[in-house]
Amino acid sequence: MKNNIKLLRAKNNLTQDQLAEMLEVSRQTIISLEKEKYNPSITLAFKLAVVFKCSIEDIFIYEGDL
Protein backbone atom coordinates (compact mmCIF):
# COMPACT_ATOMS: atom_id res chain seq x y z
CA MET A 1 0.00 0.00 0.00
CA LYS A 2 1.34 3.41 -0.92
CA ASN A 3 2.21 5.62 2.03
CA ASN A 4 3.85 8.85 3.13
CA ILE A 5 5.86 7.41 6.02
CA LYS A 6 9.30 8.34 4.69
CA LEU A 7 8.16 11.90 3.95
CA LEU A 8 6.48 12.31 7.35
CA ARG A 9 9.49 10.80 9.14
CA ALA A 10 11.83 13.26 7.41
CA LYS A 11 9.48 16.17 8.09
CA ASN A 12 9.59 15.26 11.80
CA ASN A 13 13.40 14.87 11.78
CA LEU A 14 13.24 11.23 12.85
CA THR A 15 15.63 8.47 11.87
CA GLN A 16 14.32 5.01 11.05
CA ASP A 17 15.76 3.82 14.37
CA GLN A 18 14.02 6.57 16.34
CA LEU A 19 10.67 5.89 14.70
CA ALA A 20 11.05 2.15 15.23
CA GLU A 21 11.77 2.71 18.92
CA MET A 22 8.75 4.99 19.31
CA LEU A 23 6.50 2.38 17.69
CA GLU A 24 8.14 -0.57 19.46
CA VAL A 25 8.97 -2.30 16.17
CA SER A 26 12.22 -3.17 14.43
CA ARG A 27 14.04 -0.86 12.06
CA GLN A 28 13.46 -3.53 9.42
CA THR A 29 9.70 -3.01 9.84
CA ILE A 30 10.14 0.71 9.16
CA ILE A 31 12.27 -0.05 6.09
CA SER A 32 9.63 -2.47 4.78
CA LEU A 33 6.85 0.05 5.37
CA GLU A 34 8.76 2.82 3.59
CA LYS A 35 9.47 0.52 0.63
CA GLU A 36 5.76 -0.39 0.58
CA LYS A 37 6.58 -4.09 0.99
CA TYR A 38 4.58 -4.45 4.20
CA ASN A 39 1.07 -3.38 5.16
CA PRO A 40 0.84 -2.60 8.87
CA SER A 41 -1.72 -3.89 11.32
CA ILE A 42 -4.47 -1.45 12.23
CA THR A 43 -2.78 -1.03 15.62
CA LEU A 44 0.50 0.01 14.02
CA ALA A 45 -1.35 2.33 11.61
CA PHE A 46 -2.99 4.07 14.59
CA LYS A 47 0.38 4.35 16.37
CA LEU A 48 1.86 5.98 13.27
CA ALA A 49 -1.03 8.45 13.15
CA VAL A 50 -0.42 9.37 16.80
CA VAL A 51 3.33 9.84 16.27
CA PHE A 52 2.81 12.00 13.18
CA LYS A 53 -0.24 13.80 14.64
CA CYS A 54 -2.39 13.14 11.60
CA SER A 55 -5.07 10.76 10.37
CA ILE A 56 -4.38 7.29 9.02
CA GLU A 57 -5.69 8.55 5.67
CA ASP A 58 -2.92 11.18 5.65
CA ILE A 59 -0.34 8.39 5.92
CA PHE A 60 -1.73 5.62 3.71
CA ILE A 61 -3.10 5.93 0.18
CA TYR A 62 -5.68 3.28 -0.66
CA GLU A 63 -5.65 2.39 -4.36
CA GLY A 64 -7.86 -0.68 -4.45
CA ASP A 65 -11.43 -1.15 -5.54
CA LEU A 66 -14.26 -0.46 -3.12
Q: Is residue 29 one of the residues assigned to a domain?
A: yes
Given the DSSP bridges, would you call strands 2-3 and 60-61 parallel, antiparallel or unpaired?
antiparallel
Residue 10 located in a structural domain:
yes
Number of domains in the chain: 1
3-state secondary structure of 59: helix
14 confidence band (pLDDT: 50, 70, 90) = very high
Whether 63 has a pLDDT exceeding 90, the answer reads: no
- Could you give the residue ranges of the DSSP H alpha helices within the chain? 5-11, 16-23, 27-34, 42-52, 56-59
34-55 pLDDT, tens digit per residue, is 999 999 999 999 999 999 999 9
> CA 1 from chain center: how many Å?
11
Q: What is the CATH number of the domain that holds 13?
A: 1.10.260.40
Pair 55, 49: CB distance under 8 Å: yes
Residue numbers of the domain that contains 49: 2-61
The answer to whether residue 13 sits within a structural domain is: yes
Is residue 66 a part of any domain in this protein? Answer: no
